Structure 1
């Protein structure tokens, strides 16, 4: 049954492509904004994204594609943003349509560098969107497995339970299970933090640490995640739920994880710049590491986040991954 709300997805990457695929299972029409005009022309002609998840075939009659962000905003009731956090503010500067009365969901796992805020807080502070009209879409769910229609799970978080249910209904299918949550701040911070820990797991792998150490690293990471989120926004939550622990594990261990791949390259001796150039993809955890470290420093809680601190030293202070992780091993239990 079609959801009566009109959905628009913003972002032409792998996760944006996966979201359009999921929505297409339930909607007669899905809005899709991407800035790459040649990719739009290719999709309209060939029925698939030439750059990301190219195996996914679309019925182009279901798609309202445009490189004009205003057009897709005007045509949509629910706006789902899947633009990398480092580029979100720049894209929004092209917007000339009022976002008032729109329901905005973030599928972005990162911090907006210009404001230092998670995406939901950025929309609330910069665009006066009430929190009840802001939500988060989190995993554990890799875009590549959505493309393969492997059973996956999403958590839809929003202060307004009805908005969460409507978006959950729009995304669910035979291969997508959805659940709702009211922990919008916690789930969004968890989605950001797990990328940092995935970089740590990748660095460890690149340095030659084995599965025994990785298990200790992930065990410490989930406890560190809990301390971080509780310090930023304390409420009753079970950190072992899928939106927190599950998303952390899949990002830390999966071969599909770009953040783990990025960390693995750093551990093997690549510079940050060379790793990013070779990947040709955005590792959200790189930007999140700086924001998370600065926030804990400001709150004078840096001693509570040794894994984040270690990744920060490697990525931003150009410290030796080998020496930094040797010190980190003494801080884990």
Structure 2
């Protein structure tokens, strides 16, 4: 298959390598001329994915039209804050027979819209799907076994993505629950910020286990209110992604949270991480969705207060622990 990838960061580069290794013809686009020059010179994403040699067959370019035209599949790997602007740029080149696969995670704050719907709104008639799950680029890039889920509104499209990406170290499941996949992949970043904050405060495994479990409860409450399937949220793109993002050394959200727990502002933390921290951008949107759907999300609420209202992180943890006493599960008699 002939494939174009938008975004030459760590995830775009790792997926380009995977797809080229699967025998596909891959072109990767970036708006950054210096980034493309680096990739063409060294065949390595030295800033974002150091140590991973990129397949010699991959084409790197700043020419957007070249990346889009004639490609059967377009993989969108740009950071979530730039999804809408990128969709506007590619719209003139997209044809109805092309499939756009979103691999970024986030919710647009202004519209409370997940990424697939953003792309659909900017490119009417486009076929858009999603690929998500516990899949750090640093591990995918070196062939560490990974499992994800491909989501599309029809199963045939999901199976096409499955067949395109899957190999002996990258297993792909299929689903038609696009809402659940996108929501799980977005909200878990907010919970991962909280997990990192607890690490930065010096708390232990007990604390993180509690936070992840209650964070999953918040994801389930919001997801089911929005029509997502419980099985999706309990699967790879929900629970699976939550686990890896809250615990991994590769997690930019967990690492940013750690720095915030040590007293840095979210802006200082993002500057030190040197990558887009998706949870910061999704935090306000998630809280707005919670209020829209009447869902209780105390962890998300406290993360917002720490990020944007200057609330001390330790005080936020205490407030979470001293909330009104409740049963873990509500059971009707």
Same fold flag (TM > 0.5) = yes
**Does 1:40 find its partner at 2:36?**
yes
Q: 1:142-191, CA deviations, whole angstroms, 9 ceiling, x for partnerless residues?
A: 11111221111111111121211111122122211111111111011100
Aligned position for 1:324: 316
Q: How does 1:167-178 map to 2 (within 5 A)?
A: 167-178=161-172
Q: Secondary structure at the match of 1:237?
A: helix
1:95 to 90, 100, 108: 90
1:56 and 1:129, CA in 2 relative to 1: closer, same or farther beyond 3 A? farther
Structure 2 partner of 1:152: 146
Quote the residue 1:314 is aligned against. 306
Within the candidate set 218, 227, 235, 1:224 is matched to: 218
Aligned to 1:72: 67
1:124 paired to 2:115: no
* Aligned-residue offset at 1:256: 0.8
Rounded to whole Å, the distance in 1 between the matches of 2:110 and 2:222 is 21
**Matching of residue 281 in structure 1 with residue 271 in structure 2:** no
From 180, 183, 187, the equivalent of 1:193 is: 187
Residue of structure 2 in register with 1:179 after alignment? 173
Q: In 2, distance between residues paired with 1:329 and 1:67?
A: 50
Q: Which residue of 2 aligns with 1:204?
A: 198
1:94-113 equivalence runs, <5 A: 94-95=89-90, 97-101=92-96, 102-113=98-109
Give, in whole Å, the separation in 2 of the partners of 1:89 and 1:204: 33
For residues 42 and 272 of structure 1, the distance between their equivalents in structure 2, rounded to whole angstroms, comes to 29
Separation of aligned partners in 2, 1:234 and 1:255: 29
Q: Structure 1 326/54 Cα, relative in aligned 2: closer, same or farther at 3 Å?
A: same
Residue in 1 aligned with 2:26? 30
State TM-score, norm by structure 2. 0.92
Q: Deviations over 1:74-129 (max 9, x none)?
A: 13221111111112223334336243412111111112345431111112223223
Alignment partners' CA distance in 1, 2:167 and 2:182: 23
Aligned-residue offset at 1:317: 1.4
Unaligned segments of structure 1, at least 5 residues: none
Cα deviation digits, residues 58-84 of structure 1 (max 9, x gap): 233x22322122221113221111111
- Structure 1 residue aligned with 2:262: 268
Select which of 240, 243, 255 maps to 1:249.
Answer: 243
The alpha-carbon deviation at position 284 of structure 1 amounts to 0.2
Q: Distance in 2 between matches of 1:245 and 1:129?
A: 32
Shift of 1:253: 0.8
CA contact (8 A) 2:88 2:123 kept: no
CA contact (8 A) 1:89 1:114 kept: no
Residue 247 of structure 1: how far off its partner (Å): 0.9
How does the TM-score come out when normalised to structure 1?
0.92
| Distance across 2 between alignment mates of 1:318 and 1:262 | 16
SS at match of 2:220: helix
Find the partner of 1:134 among 124, 128, 131: 128
Q: How many residues align?
A: 324
